[in-house]
Amino acid sequence: MSERVNVKKKQSAPVAEAKAQAALPTLGPKGMLRWAWTQLTSMRTALFLLLLLAVAAVPGSLFPQRPANPATVTQYIKDHQDYGKLLDTLQLYDVYSSVWFSAIYLLLFISLIGCVVPRAIAHYKAMRSQPPRTPQRLSRLPEYGTLVIPSGAGIPASDAINGAAGLLGKRGYRVEVRDADGALPSLGAERGFLKEVGNLVFHTSLIGVLVSVAAGGLFGYSGQRILVEGDTFVNTLVGYDQFNPGTNFQSSQLQPYSLQLDKFNITFDRESKGKFGQPIDFAATVTTKENPDAPPKQETLKVNDPVSLGGTSIYLTGNGYAPVVTIRDGAGNVAMQGPVVAKLQGQNYYSSVVIKVPDAQPDQLGFVGFFLPTAFVNDKNVSFSADPELFNPQLTLNSYYGDLGLNKGAPQNVFELDVKNLTPLNARNLAAGGITLAPGSTYTLPDGKGSISFDGVKRYIGVDIHHNPGQVSALVFALLAVAGLILSLYVNRRRVWVRTGTAADGRTMVEYGLLARGEDHRLAGEAAALRKLFSTEWQLTDNSLTEDSAASQQTPSRTSDNVPGSDDNAAGSVTTPAGPTGPEKDQ
């Protein structure tokens, strides 16, 4: 990433004045664009955008979000008359698809591309070029050492440099020997190119993840369906209770497989005191058919264990009770018969029931009330459910007659009954009272409006059906990103230079220096390892490895830099604002 040194200088007044008067060179539209591009792709901007992204993601957790829960958002706006609408204008209920959030991450990704591409080109060139020339003064490098091969060893300078080259090559360095037959042969070596490769792979993979997510949004779809025991779902548009197509969805994408719910079992916790009655296992036995002509197959659908069918995955996301009722109308005909999905309201499957009977004659009938799996009445005469299992199932209902308003064609919520245009038949405050039914019992409605029988109870499940073509590639890119991240953090890019020469008395002098590119806390360890390798190769005695005085003698520049002569220096050297990445910063 390109980066400029931030020059902060206190300007004296005349300088500032002169600066204000000086005419700035006009950049022109092209220059402006170039300037904007440089700004955008700078590390500083990327960092700023990254932190801004973190901040911008937060409101999504503070306010209800439409994609997750549209009904809650509507309710929230209603409840907060003063600012609810304003938040909507600011797209705070759709944070992650909002203009401002998208702007931040798109800018970030453009900045990322603008940074990755030039770096990739530069790194490609670097990988194909030779290590940089040997510096004049190796002793200035952060790691430096010397070795002396005695004159009797028979290793001249040129042999020593070739030996060093061989060792470095085995250690994974790319080596170039210079001036092998000259008076001062030297070599340059470099390793750790994978660090930058990992870095580039990481950042590129993030783009890949983003593209995969976008692809999933374009070509995927999802939907929900409630299935009572015995029900069959067929994967067609009409088969869904709710369907959310992706932008480019086509109904031909749906494979007409079918899934029948045979049985749904729940295991409740009967052991622990604190969580008594908490469900600990949900298991749905389903019969699936890949297509209408395929042989049926029995499978178990569980939470955390979806069923895969026809390119989709089917998830168990909800469940409840569905009391089975038979309703006869005023004419004595069966106007409705079957299970009614009861919507969960509270503890222990305390659920609400709404029954609409548009086929009842002469008047349409409606019922509203509650279903309790284990009905119990407390001392305040309020019914509640004492257990999630069916120990004492009970239906308590109010009834209405009149026009349900279904014939007008306006869509209605099946879980709500609009009683505005209806006449109450049964309620607690009416003479007829409310309806209370146990399984197997029948209640005859007042005024000859008909009757209702509570035949039994079935269970239902809610399933989510998802098709996301982007998720496999998102996973692959995520794995690539992690691999790249690990490479970029743990591969160290290092350069080594070695120079040899012959002293007047015939000894072969070797000096070497190491330099890290970027953060490398193991550079000193590498220097020690190399020293050991060289010493073994040239059969040097061990005391040259550990002898501190010898080393400090040979590295006069460092010793004088690091061991302060006066105690003032000791304090001063600590506060020296040296960067953490050593002398070379290349990011």
Interacting positions 18-47 with another protein (CB under 8 A) = 43-44, 46-47
Interface of this chain with another protein, residues 296 to 315, rule: CB under 8 A:
302-306, 313, 315
Contact residues for 94 (Cβ-Cβ < 8 A; gap 6+): 65, 66, 67
Contact residues for 508 (Cβ-Cβ < 8 A; gap 6+): 148, 149, 151, 153, 155, 156, 157, 160, 500, 501, 502
Could you tell me if 178 and 489 are in contact, meaning their C-beta atoms sit under 8 angstroms apart? no
Number of residues written out for the chain = 587
Give dist(CA 552, CA 532) in Å, integer: 17
Q: Minimum distance from CB of 54 to another protein (Å)? A: 4
Q: Minimum distance from CB of 186 to another protein (Å)? A: 22
DSSP code for 178: E
Cβ closer to another protein: 130 or 573? 573
Rg (CA), the chain: 39
* Among residues 54, 382, 410, 431, the one that binds another protein under rule CB under 8 A: 54
Residue 572 touching another protein (CB under 8 A): yes
For 189, the token pair is 């070596």
Cβ neighbour number for residue 142 with a 10 Å cutoff:
16
For tokens 């089975």, the residue is 324
Residue 218 touching another protein (CB under 8 A): no
Cβ closer to another protein: 16 or 51? 51
* Among residues 27, 294, 334, 578, the one that binds another protein under rule CB under 8 A: 578
Cβ closer to another protein: 257 or 400? 257
Interface of this chain with another protein, residues 87 to 126, rule: CB under 8 A:
95-96
* Among residues 317, 333, 444, 557, the one that binds another protein under rule CB under 8 A: 317
Binding mask 56-75 toward another protein (x if CB under 8 A, else -) reads -xx-xx---x-xx-------
Report how far apart the first and last C-alpha atoms of the chain are (Å, whole number). 6
Interface of this chain with another protein, residues 120 to 149, rule: CB under 8 A:
142-143, 145
Buried-exposed string 244-260: b where 16+ CB fall within 10 A, e elsewhere: ebbeebeeebbeebbbb
What are the φ and ψ backbone dihedral angles of 105, each rounded to 5 degrees? -75, -30
Q: Minimum distance from CB of 224 to another protein (Å)? A: 10
Cβ closer to another protein: 323 or 484? 484
Q: Minimum distance from CB of 322 to another protein (Å)? A: 20
Residue 458 touching another protein (CB under 8 A): no
Residue 442 touching another protein (CB under 8 A): no
Cβ closer to another protein: 401 or 477? 477
Cβ closer to another protein: 61 or 429? 61
> Helix (H, G, I), strand (E, B), or coil: what is residue 560?
helix
Contact residues for 170 (Cβ-Cβ < 8 A; gap 6+): none
Interface of this chain with another protein, residues 330 to 389, rule: CB under 8 A:
none
Q: Minimum distance from CB of 490 to another protein (Å)? A: 8
Could you tell me if 434 and 427 are in contact, meaning their C-beta atoms sit under 8 angstroms apart? yes
Interface of this chain with another protein, residues 464 to 483, rule: CB under 8 A:
464-466, 468, 471, 474-475, 478-479, 481-482
- Residue count, binding to another protein (CB under 8 A): 98
Q: Minimum distance from CB of 358 to another protein (Å)? A: 34
Residue 534 touching another protein (CB under 8 A): no
Secondary structure (DSSP) of 284-320: EEEEEESSTTSPPEEEEEETTBPEEETTEEEEEEEEE
Interface of this chain with another protein, residues 144 to 173, rule: CB under 8 A:
145
Q: Which region among 54-62, 178-186, 351-359, 387-395 touches another protein (by CB under 8 A)?
A: 54-62
Q: Minimum distance from CB of 265 to another protein (Å)? A: 12
For tokens 């059969």, the residue is 539
Could you tell me if 402 and 419 are in contact, meaning their C-beta atoms sit under 8 angstroms apart? no
For 277, the token pair is 């009655």
Interface of this chain with another protein, residues 483 to 502, rule: CB under 8 A:
485-486, 489
Could you tell me if 64 and 72 are in contact, meaning their C-beta atoms sit under 8 angstroms apart? yes
Alpha-carbon distances of 115 from 109, 111, 202, rounded to whole Å? 10, 6, 13
Q: Minimum distance from CB of 446 to another protein (Å)? A: 43
Interface of this chain with another protein, residues 220 to 279, rule: CB under 8 A:
222, 267, 269, 271-275, 278-279
Q: Minimum distance from CB of 562 to another protein (Å)? A: 4
Could you tell me if 354 and 385 are in contact, meaning their C-beta atoms sit under 8 angstroms apart? no
Residue 186: name the closest of 267, 249, 127, 131 by CA. Answer: 131
Cβ closer to another protein: 313 or 392? 313
Cβ closer to another protein: 129 or 272? 272
- Asked if the peptide bond before residue 131 counts as cis, ω within 30 degrees of 0, the response is no
Could you tell me if 126 and 181 are in contact, meaning their C-beta atoms sit under 8 angstroms apart? no
Q: Minimum distance from CB of 317 to another protein (Å)? A: 7
Extract the runs of DSSP E, i.e. beta strands, from 21-118.
Answer: none
